[in-house]
Structure 1
Amino acid sequence: MKKAMFVGAIGCGKTTLIQRMGDMHIRYNKTQAIEFYDNIIDTPGEYVEHRELYSGLRTTSTGAKLVVLMQSAVDPRIVLPAGFSTMFTQESIGVVTKIDLATQQQIDLVKKRLLEAGVKKVFTVSAIKGTNVKEFMDYLKQY
């Protein structure tokens, strides 16, 4: 698996998904700074929520081969604006998180927003329940 950078709002489930993927104990852990794992870069949600920090995302992305844009299915905000992925030179894929807490309508809305942000493919996952995590990991491994 090539290095992937996880990008999304505060509380969208980036770190929880990393914990699930690494068979770690799942617990809330607010990411305060960029964290590097074997093949994943975990970015703080503030980097997305505050436009003045976008340059930090662009700079950090140089160490990644893939950008994973993430949004919680239960977050009604437009977190990632249309065309957001164009700031990166790498391919971007999307992940809708927290699908165990959402309606199909909410999931579909967030999928649409991720596609508008410029991702080429969208996965839907629940890190807490493990739903679709294996499929997402398989994609990352073949990437």
Structure 2
Amino acid sequence: MENAKKHIMLVGKSQAGKTTLTQYLTNQQLFYHKTQTVQVVDGHYVDTPGEYLEQRGFYGALSVTASQVDVIALVQSAVEESTMFAPGFGSMFCGKFVIGIVTKIDLATEEQLKRATRYLTDAGAQTCYSVSSVTGQGMTEFNKWFENL
């Protein structure tokens, strides 16, 4: 029987690093492009537009999309001073496993990393991973977790 790899939905502000993360994880060339609609990448990663988080009117689209995945990943850039995730945000996904992914760690100070992780845990992330899609830092740990889901 084939090992059925899980599906993970990436939710975060515009320019948080969701698309770049999916490019890294699927061995694509890294290049910036604005995600306009929900995109399924490599059959397992669901990349959502930042506007789905930034505009409450799109929360319904997040909920509908979440029903089709196994894990919700809240994505927060380490160098972003603020967050769009309200405390308890992850609870809107009705019992789905919620993780946090801090991106752009190669550009951040230790204090910025701590702040981003706190934002994600406050939002309901049950565990957090810190990664850089440019240097690959933290990707081995994240991939190991994802492969063992």
Q: Which category of TM-score, normalised to the shorter sequence, fits these structures?
A: over 0.9
Distance of 2:26 and 2:50 partners within structure 1: 20
Q: Secondary structure at the match of 2:100?
A: strand
| Larger relative contact order, structure 1 or 2 (CA cutoff 8 Å, min sep 6) | 1
- The alpha-carbon deviation at position 56 of structure 1 amounts to 0.6
Partner SS state of residue 100, structure 1: helix
Match of 1:103 among 85, 98, 109: 109
Q: Does 1:9 align with 2:13?
A: yes
% identical aligned pairs: 37
After TM superposition, what 4+ stretches of structure 1 lie above 6 angstroms from structure 2? none
User: In the alignment, what sits opposite 2:68?
Assistant: 63
State the TM-score, normalizing by the size of structure 1. 0.98
TM-score by length of 2: 0.94
1:32 is matched with 36
Q: Secondary structure of 1:68's match?
A: strand
Query: Which blocks of at least 5 consecutive residues in structure 2 are unaligned?
Result: none
Q: Which residue in 1 is equivalent to 2:53?
A: 48
Matched position secondary structure for 1:59: helix
1:2-31 Cα distance to aligned partner (Å, 9 max, x none):
000011000000010111111100000110
Gap runs ≥5 in structure 1: none
- Between the aligned partners of 1:115 and 1:62, the Cα distance in structure 2 is 22
1:76 paired residue number: 81
CA contact (8 A) 2:103 2:133 kept: yes
Tell me how many residue pairs correspond in the alignment. Answer: 143
Deviation (angstroms), 1:102: 0.7
Looking at structure 1, the residues matched to 80 and 127 of structure 2 have their Cα atoms a distance apart, in angstroms, of: 20
Q: Following the alignment from structure 2 to structure 1, what is the Cα–Cα distance between the partners of residues 105 and 61?
A: 29
User: Is the aligned partner of 1:130 residue 2:144?
Assistant: no
